Amino acid sequence: MKQISIAPQLRFRHDGNDLPLDKVLSLLTEVQAHGNLQAASQVLGQSYRGAWGHVKEVEALMGAPLLTMARGRGAVLTPLAQRLLWGQKRLQARLGPLLETMASELQTELDDLLLQDSDQLRLFASHGLAIAALVDFAGRAGLPIDVSYRGSIEAIAALAKHECEVASFHVPIGPLAEPVLDHYGPLLKGKSYRVADVASRRLGLLVARGNPLGIRTLADVPRTGARFANRERGSGTRIIFDLLLAREGIDPSAIAGAENIEFTHAAVAAYIASGRADAGLAIEAAANQFGLDFLPILTERYCLMFPEPGSESAHLHALLEILQSAEYRQAVHAIPGYSEAATGRIAPLSEAFPSLG
């Protein structure tokens, strides 16, 4: 299947020359993992001479070293090299889902222009590792799926307006469930939707490794003056964050940096890991991905929703089969902080969330 993809890329421009940094960033990543350039070049299938030459070329253009070399002690990344790697990680975390959405939209437009079959299952979803895995499984199965990563409110609104066939949302398990469902209620009440559980996942505060500010609860964020990385309004995580502040009696204006908006859990984690923030609310898997400490607050259900009449469509049926497969459940089980205990469970909206029936 021919498909367009778009990927973010760091480039360095000097005296009119535009140099992509992909190769040297790959080398630096492997040097960081293996401790020397020889092993890094072997992993990437390059000669040592070629790898060394590429590093020196970029160092000459940037006017500063990327590696500190010592005989018998391998290679160590300089602060410049570390900052470049963090820039790449933040770029991917922040823009990756957005570019995937743009690629899907462009693919559909080109299919229409070329009179090709554009019969796709349209999925509007909040970005997360379990949903990304589901999309990957669907792609490998040849299922034509058009993915748009959106906040939960926007995704459900799109489903109500028939702009997609499947939408995702997530709801805390416990006392905050009903206050969160109140935000979705106007779009859902009286609808004959069905709900499929994708996974449950742990949500909490992300802080730097070792928790240098001694943060234990949300109340410690304003007390310590910690810089916060927040999510956008309309996202399920932002709804939960605002409700947590209200429950704890915390004035939102007391949270330093609450205007620092990131659009995915991974982007929040990357922002903290690169030292630009001290804390954020995100899933445990994002903390694990970027080497952060995780302070659990609650567990939430991540669900897919689709109209009752559309449940018999071939594409949706295929997606639900993947969701209920042993292979997919194993993939969910492998994600830190995720549970597959309810993965694949399907029920009418009125049973899954009685207050919305």
Q: Which CATH number belongs to the domain containing residue 20 in this structure?
A: 1.10.10.10
Instruction: Specify the amino acid at residue 183.
Output: H
Q: CA 75 to CA 26: how far, in whole Å? A: 15
61 and 194 housed in the same domain = no
The H or E element containing residue 102 is helix 79-113
Q: Is residue 145 domain-resident?
A: yes
* Rounded Cα gap, residues 55 and 29, in angstroms: 12
* Mode of pairing for the β-strands spanning 193-207 and 338-339: antiparallel
Give the residue from 302, 310, 294 showing the smallest Cα distance to 344. 302
Assess whether 150 and 267 both reside in one domain: yes
Residues 53, 190, single domain; the answer is: no
How many other CB atoms are found less than 10 A from the CB of residue 296?
Answer: 12
Of the candidates 116, 143, 279, the residue with the CA atom closest to the CA atom of residue 207: 279
pLDDT of residue 330: 97
Say which amino acid occupies 109.
Answer: E
Let me know if residue 160 belongs to a domain: yes
- Tokens for 114, please give them: 């070329």
Q: How far apart are CA 351 and CA 357, in angstroms?
A: 7
96 assigned to some structural domain: no
304 lies in which domain range? 118-356
**pLDDT interval class at 102 (50, 70, 90):** low
For the whole model, what pTM was predicted?
0.77
Q: Which pLDDT score, from 0 to 100, does residue 177 have?
A: 94
Question: For residue 272, is it within any domain?
Answer: yes
Q: Do 131 and 243 have their domain in common?
A: yes
Of 49, 78, 107, which residue is a domain's last? 78
Residue 1 lies in a domain: no
Terminal Cα distance for the chain, rounded = 40
Burial class (CB in 10 A: 0-12, 13-18, 19+), 244: buried
Q: Is the pLDDT of residue 34 over 90?
A: no
Boundary-marking domain end, from 28, 48, 78: 78
Q: What pLDDT score does 60 carry?
A: 82
- Whether the per-residue pLDDT at 12 is higher than 80: the answer is no
Residue 215 within a domain: yes
| CATH for 287 | 3.40.190.290
Res 103 pLDDT > 80: no
Are 25 and 136 in a shared domain?
no
In tens, the pLDDT along 47-79 reads 888 888 888 888 888 888 888 887 666 888 888
- Residue 187 neighbours by CB distance under 10 Å: 18
Taking alpha carbons only, the member of 37, 31, 29 closest to residue 10 is 29
Closest CA to 267 of 245, 249, 248, 283: 283
Query: Are 149 and 212 contained in the same domain?
Result: yes
Residues 161 and 47 reside in one and the same domain: no
Number of domains observed in the structure of the chain: 2
Clarify whether residues 74 and 122 are in a common domain: no
The answer to the question of residue 103 being in a domain is no
For residue 10, pLDDT over 70 is answered with yes
Same domain, 188 and 43: no
Mean pLDDT of 341-352: 94
Residues 138 and 74 in one domain: no
Collect all residues with Cβ–Cβ distance below 8 Å to 233 and sequence separation of at least 6: 151
pLDDT of 96 higher than 80: no
Q: What three-state secondary structure class fits 12? A: strand
Q: What is the DSSP letter of 188?
A: H
Average pLDDT on 149-158 reads 89
Whether residue 55 is found in the same domain as residue 125:
no
Confidence of residue 310 (pLDDT cuts 50, 70, 90): low
Q: Find the angle CA(134)-CA(323)-CA(164) to the nearest 5 degrees.
A: 65
Find tokens 């489903």 and name the residue.
159
Does residue 182 share a domain with residue 307?
yes
Looking at the domain assignment, is residue 113 inside a domain? no
